């Protein structure tokens, strides 16, 4: 579904806001299902994104596992002597974390499906300064760059005869932890090269910029905006009434 970039940004803001404000597994699961449904309606490649981010999914699950062991409360499920290792509250926190990360990934897929220039134009039309709009577009651009940096280091290990797939889960997670630092370093080097290229081209020399394409909201865009805002407001009211909303 082709939508104005401002409409996509609005949908992303609404979905992530619900992910932050919902405080119960049931309410988060509904938001998770709604975010997945939006991606399906927009005909986004969810399975392709999962395959590209499969290494990060292991990291998310590991963090959820650690969180389930560190958060205490509720009924004790596993204990060693007087130490409670796993509780119902810890499992609940872990599930909430996984659901929130899933919602954020679905929202990020909406942003990644748009052209960076379109997203920049949309932010400018919303009244944001060009520097901020450009920075946001570059941030989205660096998400696949980080994935590429991580993948290149995985391939380098495979060329040295290290088969991570056959390793036990504990050692595999440890190796993933070692690979994160050099992947981030590679992204920082690329960002410095980008900053140098921008400076050499006189970025920010002119305060007022022109736009090649003028964005205009169509009737379909307005319908999506009205439906999205009404559904979000209704769900927030429902959570507020039944106690599923975080106190602000």
The pLDDT tens digits for 216-238 are 888 888 999 999 999 999 888 88
Residue 227: half-sphere exposure toward Cβ, Cα within 13 Å:
8
pTM: 0.68
Q: Counting Cβ atoms within 10 Å, is residue 19 exposed (0-12), middle (13-18) or buried (19+)?
A: buried
52: tokens are 């590209």
Domain borders along the chain are: 1-114+216-248, 128-209
The pLDDT, as a whole number, for residue 248 is: 45
Q: Which of residues 108 and 73 earns the better pLDDT score?
A: 108
Residue 199 has pLDDT above 60, yes or no: yes
140 band by pLDDT with thresholds 50, 70 and 90: low
- What's the rounded Cα separation, in Å, for the pair 134 and 5? 14
pLDDT band at 74 (very low <50, low <70, confident <90, very high): low
Q: What DSSP letter does each residue of 60-100 carry, written as one string?
A: HHHHHHHHHHH---SSEEEEETTEEEEEHHHHHHHHHHHHH
pLDDT tens for residues 3-36? Answer: 878 888 889 889 988 888 887 888 888 889 998 8
How sure is the predictor about 104, in pLDDT bands with cuts at 50, 70 and 90?
A: confident
pLDDT in tens, 141-191: 676 777 777 778 778 877 877 777 777 777 777 777 777 778 888 878 888
Compare 16 and 1 and report the one with higher pLDDT. 16
Q: To the nearest whole percent, how much of the chain has pLDDT over 70?
A: 83
For Cα atoms 144, 150, 156, give the angle at the middle one, nearest 5 degrees: 135
pLDDT at residue 227, as a whole number: 92
């Amino acid at each position: 579904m082709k939508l104005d970039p401002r409409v996509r940004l609005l949908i992303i803001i609404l979905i992530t806001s619900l992910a932050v404000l919902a405080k119960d597994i049931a309410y988060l699961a509904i938001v998770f299902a709604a975010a997945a449904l939006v991606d399906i309606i927009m005909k986004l490649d969810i399975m392709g994104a999962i395959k590209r981010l499969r290494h990060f999914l292991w990291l998310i699950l590991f963090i959820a596992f650690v969180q389930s062991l560190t958060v205490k409360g509720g009924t004790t499920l596993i204990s060693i002597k007087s130490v409670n290792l796993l509780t119902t509250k810890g499992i609940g926190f872990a599930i909430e974390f996984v659901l929130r990360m899933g919602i954020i990934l679905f929202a990020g897929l909406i942003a990644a499906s748009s052209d960076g220039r379109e997203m920049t134009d949309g932010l400018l039309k919303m009244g944001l300064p060009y520097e901020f709009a450009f920075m946001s577009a570059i941030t989205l651009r660096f998400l696949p760059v980080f994935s590429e940096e991580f993948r290149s280091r995985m391939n380098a290990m495979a060329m040295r005869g290290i088969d991570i797939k056959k390793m036990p889960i504990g050692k595999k997670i440890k190796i993933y932890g070692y690979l994160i630092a050099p992947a981030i370093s590679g992204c920082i080097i690329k960002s410095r090269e980008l900053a140098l290229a921008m400076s050499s081209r006189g970025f920010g020399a002119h305060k007022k910029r022109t736009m090649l394409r003028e964005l205009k909201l169509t009737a379909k865009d307005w319908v999506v905006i009205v439906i999205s805002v009404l559904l979000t407001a209704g769900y927030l009211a429902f959570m507020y009434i039944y106690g599923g909303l975080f106190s602000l």
